[in-house]
Structure 1
Amino acid sequence: MNRLANKVAVITGGNSGIGLGTAKLLVAAGANVIVVGRRADAVHAAVSELGDKALGVTGNLADPKTHDDVASLVSHRFGGLDFYFANAGINTLESSSEVSADSYDLHFATNTKAIFFGVQKIAPLMRDRGAVLLTSSIASYKVFDGHAVYAGTKAAIEAFARSWALEFKARGIRVNVMSPGPVDTPILSKLGVADAERPAFEAAVAGRIPLGRLGRPGELARAALFLMSDESSFINGVNLRVDGGMSLT
């Protein structure tokens, strides 16, 4: 099926988890995908797995130069793009009393600054009636232990999305947010939970989700594809909670 033939997408954090799952769906539908990530080995592995319709850019997303590099590649290789999925992010579980200035700055640089300047740099290349999607989290409005700074970074990008949905209206560019609940992706191993404690941690989290389990990357990827494709052509400025109902508890 080539319903996205000749379409071009950029996915930050596209080398694993939700980002890679979405990249696979886009490529399968005929789109060209540019994967952006911090680790060269992970980016190269993702591009190799995705095949000849994928390209990679390695760089620090908190550095505006990385977004200049992405925009330059899009411009010279494709002349423009249709979908921008700002998906990369970090989260370290820390109580507010334990958060250092460096940790605070790192979270806002990676989760917030990177998204703002990523959209700023790529917007001039977005084709009319394109789509921007930002990955937030249900943590922006549901309180979890150790998530204060992370929640703040995500609340900020939700405010960006509302502004951009109006700023880009003359060009018909839609801007939406996807807020996952807990998802079984590699980020779980980066939360500071010891391997020996992970089964108990996951069981406790799953017990707070009405569907009784963590989300799967493919489920989030299908939601992301929906929000970027013409199937959601009249959806703009929304925050879709893809959380198994966890926000209800």
Structure 2
Amino acid sequence: MTAAQAPGRFDGRAALVTGATSGIGLAIAHRLHAEGARVLATGRDHDRGREVVESLGERTVFVAADLTDPGTADRLAGACLESFGALDVLVNNAGLDHTGDFATSSMDSVRQVFEINTFSTVAMMQSAARVMRTGGAMVNVTSRLATVGVPTMGIYAASKGAIHALTRSVAIELAPRGIRVNDVAPGMTRTPLYDEWLARIPGGESTEAEVLADIPLRRLATPQDVAAAVAYLASDDAEYVTGTTIAVDGGYTAR
């Protein structure tokens, strides 16, 4: 069960959500919009973007973008200003998964993961920092893997761990301007990507049982669980919270 929505909590606020066309990002866009935000959603798929706008309705704009292209972060921040007159909330959700033997992972694949998970997030935070006004909030979606070791997930963990660390430094740097910076670290979350992964594994049911056995609350997170935490950190309810992480992992990292 997720926290109840707070209609009107983001009235007058403009939010930019990356990776907003599916899974966690889509749930975040829906949650912020339901609580009154004007939402600029971005992703690479035009068709999915059109579906996001149709599902949310008014106060929504979609901008197709590849976050690894030079200048994209400034273009998106500018589009938010042009559409809504402000950029009050930035949610960095876009990401690329990576699983593989560390010793044999190609450097090309490593660079690709860092380009999307790390460097594009840095660029979005820089662009937002240049235009955000007092009271702004940045929320980065990291991972439980930023703080725990799991075999075959080292490259992904490192890309998210870099943002986990950066969140704290930027929070201190932007605090004098009244801009808060936090991150949300999801555990295993039931998204289309998770379902596809499970379907590819022989004996998927037993694999899922093993996954659940490692989670104290004995269930996977839902995208809505993560969206609720993001909405809290982005809102004035968390106006004295900066430089911290909310682990949305069912107790996995508390063991």
Query: If the TM-score is normalised by the length of the shorter chain, which range does it land in?
Result: over 0.9
Q: Per-residue deviation at 1:213?
A: 1.0
Question: Quick check: 61-70 or 210-219, which moved more?
Answer: 61-70
* CA–CA separation in structure 1 for the residues paired with 2:96 and 2:131: 27
Q: Is the 8 A contact 2:28 2:230 kept in 1?
A: yes
Letter in 1 for 2:68: A
Instruction: Let me know the Cα RMSD of the aligned residues.
Output: 1.6
> Is contact 1:64-1:117 (8 Å) kept?
no
TM superposition shift of 1:3: 2.8
Partner of 1:123: 129
Cα offset, 1:142, TM superposition? 1.1
Paired residue for 1:63, among 66, 69, 72? 69
Aligned counterpart, 1:51: 57
The equivalent residue for 1:26 is 32
Per-residue CA deviation, residues 154-177 of structure 1 (Å, 9 max, x unaligned), is 111112111111111121100001
Counterpart amino acid of 2:236?
A: D
Tell me, yes or no, if the aligned pair for 2:9 and 2:235 is still in contact at 8 Å.
no
Picking from 199, 213, 220, the partner of 1:214 is 220
Residue 149 of structure 2: aligned partner: 143
How far apart in 1 are the matches of 2:86 and 2:22? 24
Q: Which letter does structure 2 place at the counterpart of 1:52?
A: E
Once the two structures are TM-superposed, the CA of residue 2 in structure 1 deviates from its matched residue by 2.1
User: Structure 1-normalised TM-score?
Assistant: 0.94
| Cα pair 1:189 1:195 within 8 Å, conserved | no
Q: Which runs of 4+ in 1 moved over 4 A?
A: 189-193
Amino acid at match of 1:169: A
CA apart distance, 1:207 = 1.2
> Structure 1: which amino acid aligns with 2:252?
M
Give the TM-score of the pair, scaled to structure 2.
0.92
> Could you tell me whether the CA contact under 8 Å between 2:12 and 2:36 is conserved in 1?
yes
**For residue 3 of structure 2, what is the aligned residue in structure 1?**
none
Gaps of 5+ in 2: 1-6
- Quote the offset at 1:118 in angstroms: 0.8
User: Is 1:94–2:114 an aligned residue pair?
Assistant: no
Over 3 Å counting, the alpha-carbon distance change for 1:47 and 1:83 in structure 2 is same
Structure 2 partner of 1:161: 167
* C-alpha contact 1:57 1:70 (8 A) present in aligned 2: yes
Query: What is the CA-CA distance between 1:55 and the residue it aligns to?
Result: 0.8
Summarize deviations over 1:75-132 as a string: whole Å, max 9, x none: 2222211110001111121110231111101100010001000111122221211100
**1:85 aligns to what?**
91
Quote the residue 1:226 is aligned against.
232
Q: Does 2:15 match 1:4?
A: no
SS at match of 1:204: helix
| 8 Å Cα contact 1:138/1:179 also seen in 2 | yes
The separation in 2 between residues aligned to 1:37 and 1:113, in whole angstroms, is 16
**Structure 1 residue identity aligned to 2:85:** G
Tell me if structure 1 keeps the 8 A contact 2:38–2:84: no
Q: Distance in 2 between matches of 1:200 and 1:62?
A: 37
Equivalent residues of 1:96, 1:148 under 8 A apart = yes
Q: Does 1:152 align with 2:132?
A: no
- Report the secondary structure of 2:88's partner residue: strand
SS class of match (1:182)? coil
Name the stretch that deviates more: 138-147 or 190-199. 190-199
1:201 is paired with a residue whose SS is: helix
Which SS does the other structure have where 2:133 is aligned? strand
Equivalent residue of 1:10, what SS? strand
Is the 2:17–2:42 contact (alpha carbons within 8 Å) kept by the matching residues of 1?
A: yes
Question: Residue in 2 aligned with 1:110?
Answer: 116
Which AA in structure 2 matches 1:131?
A
Letter in 2 for 1:117: A
Aligned length: 249
**Contact 1:3 1:29 (8 Å CA) reproduced:** yes
Aligned-residue offset at 1:191: 5.1
